[in-house]
Structure 1
Amino acid sequence: MKILLLSGDYIEDYELYVPIKALEMLDIDVHVVCPDKKAGDIIQTALHIVDGWQTYSERPGHPFELTHTFADIKLGEYAGLVVPGGRFPEYQRYDQRVLDIIKYFFDIDKPVAAICHGLQLLSAAGVLKGRSCSAFPMCKLDVIAGGGEYVDFEAFSKNVHVDGNLVSAPAYPAIGVWLREFIKLLKI
């Protein structure tokens, strides 16, 4: 089984590495791609820390070597899509190629796991209309603007929301329950 994971510079470190390692543990091949980059290119990750300030702080994360070339992906090969957060969704939501990938997975009703700021990409792709989802609280307006219903959780750590083929969560502390629900949708 193959899963596609969208990425870009300043992707949230945990939201990249943890899904890859958890899915690999289940013998799932995760293809990590970034627009205009090829296998072997490096992207920079970031650690986002919720530490009591008005917003999260950011520290450099681990560099990551892309596993596959964006231009070479064949969407029909993938059983599902992972859309992490961080800052990359902020700029990739203007890339029609990325939005088309997201639309594809929704059009054919394949499982999609989106977390934190990743919901900005789903909103821009127009796939949230009539759906409910969670996201980082500062993305609430993006979800609403995209026609979705924002599901608010007081705590990040154990909260996940499932609406059809979409699994969403507010931030990386919920990665465990988020991945559990995604794996259920993959029928593993």
Structure 2
Amino acid sequence: MKVLLLSGDYVEDYELYAPLKALEMLGIDVHVVCPDKKAGDVIATALHTVEGFQTYSERPGHPFTLTHTFADINLDDYAGLVVPGGRFPEYQRYDQKVLDLVKHFFDKDLPVAAICHGLQILAAAGVLKGRECSAFPMCKLDVEAGGAKYIEFEAFSLNAHVEGNLVTAPAYPAIGVWLKEFIALLGVKVQL
């Protein structure tokens, strides 16, 4: 099974590495791509924390080497899509190639896991109309402008919301629950 993980410069570090490693642990082949970059290119990641200021702060994360070339992917090869957060969604939501990629997964009703600011891309792609989803609280207006009902969780809660093929969560503390739901949507059974 292959899953596509969309990324870009200043993706949230935890929201890239945690799903990548968890899915790899289950034997899922994860292809990490970024528009206009190729396999072997390095992207910057960022660590976001709330420190009592009016917004979160940002620190450098771990550099990440892309596993695949965006221009070479065949969307029909993938069973699902992961859209992390960070700052990359704010600029990639203007890239028509990214929006078309997202629409493909929704048109095929394939599992999609989006977290934090990743919902900005889904809203821009027009795939949230009439749906329910969560996101980082500062993305509530994006979600509602995209036609969805915003499901409110505290920013650092351990909650995820599932509706049809879409699982969403507000931020990285919910990664465990979010991934558990995504893995279930993929039909992967985990036995202990």
User: What are the residue-to-residue correspondences of 1:18-167 with 2, within 5 Å?
Assistant: 18-154=18-154, 156-167=156-167
Q: For residue 168 of structure 1, what is the aligned residue in structure 2?
A: 168
CA distance in 1 between partners of 2:124 and 2:14 (Å): 23
CA distance in 1 between partners of 2:147 and 2:25 (Å): 36
Residue identity (%): 81
- How far does residue 155 in structure 1 lie from its aligned partner after superposition? 5.4
SS of the aligned residue for 1:154 comes to coil
User: Structure 2 regions of 5+ residues with no counterpart?
Assistant: none
- How far does residue 156 in structure 1 lie from its aligned partner after superposition? 2.5
User: Structure 1 regions of 5+ residues with no counterpart?
Assistant: none
CA distance in 1 between partners of 2:148 and 2:17 (Å): 28
One-letter code of the match for 2:142? Answer: D
More divergent stretch after superposition (70-79 vs 47-56): 47-56
CA distance in 1 between partners of 2:7 and 2:162 (Å): 22
- Any idea what the Cα deviations from partners look like across 1:53-110, whole Å, max 9, x if unmatched? 1110000001000000000000000000000000000000000000000000000100
CA distance in 1 between partners of 2:13 and 2:99 (Å): 22
SS of the aligned residue for 2:61 comes to strand
Aligned residues: CA RMSD: 0.7
TM value normalised by structure 2 = 0.97
The number of residue pairs the alignment matches comes to 188
- How far does residue 52 in structure 1 lie from its aligned partner after superposition? 1.9
Q: Give the 4+ runs in structure 1 shifted more than 4 A.
A: none
